[in-house]
């Protein structure tokens, strides 16, 4: 079974802090994604990566950056956390770009106070 793990299930940070969210997948997938999930808005794509050291902006990249130094690991960085970044963050990976199933991690619920 594909496994996607995220470093934390719950995280509380203060405004202005730098926040790192880590995601690791064990199926040698080339494609990895970061979404945020908010009630009534569904999933919105923040960033994605189709290869090591490669990244592309999604629909809402402002205030975020990413890092993909190894194929299995995709990190989301909040350079200076703000209260409007309080959300559920979901990482996903897929073998085929946009064509097949996405495998999701359990999510990180981030609260910025």
The span of 11-19, 34-42, 62-70, 79-87 binding another protein (CB under 8 A) equals 34-42
C-alpha distances in Å from residue 86, one per residue of 42, 107, 110? 15, 13, 5
Least spacing, CB of residue 101 vs another protein, in Å: 4
Q: Is the CB of 54 or the CB of 79 nearer to another protein?
A: 54
- Secondary structure in 3-state letters for 1-50: CCCEEECCCEEEECCCCCEEEEEEECCCCCEEEEEEEECCCEEEEEEEEC
Encoding tokens for residue 7? 């470093």
Q: Does 58 bind another protein (CB under 8 A)?
A: yes
Q: Does 46 bind another protein (CB under 8 A)?
A: no
Least spacing, CB of residue 24 vs another protein, in Å: 14
Give contact residues for another protein (rule: CB under 8 A): 4, 35, 40-43, 45, 48, 58, 90, 92, 97-107
């Amino acid at each position: 079974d594909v496994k996607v793990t995220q470093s934390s299930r719950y995280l509380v940070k203060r405004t202005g802090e730098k926040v790192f969210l880590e995601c690791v997948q064990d199926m040698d997938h080339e494609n990895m994604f970061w979404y945020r999930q908010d009630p009534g808005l569904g999933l919105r794509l923040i960033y994605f990566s189709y290869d090591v050291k490669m990244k592309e902006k999604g629909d809402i990249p402002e205030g975020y950056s990413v890092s993909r130094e190894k194929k299995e690991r995709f990190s989301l960085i909040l350079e200076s956390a703000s209260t409007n970044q309080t959300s559920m963050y979901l990482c996903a990976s897929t073998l085929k770009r946009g064509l097949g199933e996405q495998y999701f991690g359990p999510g990180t619920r981030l609260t910025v106070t």
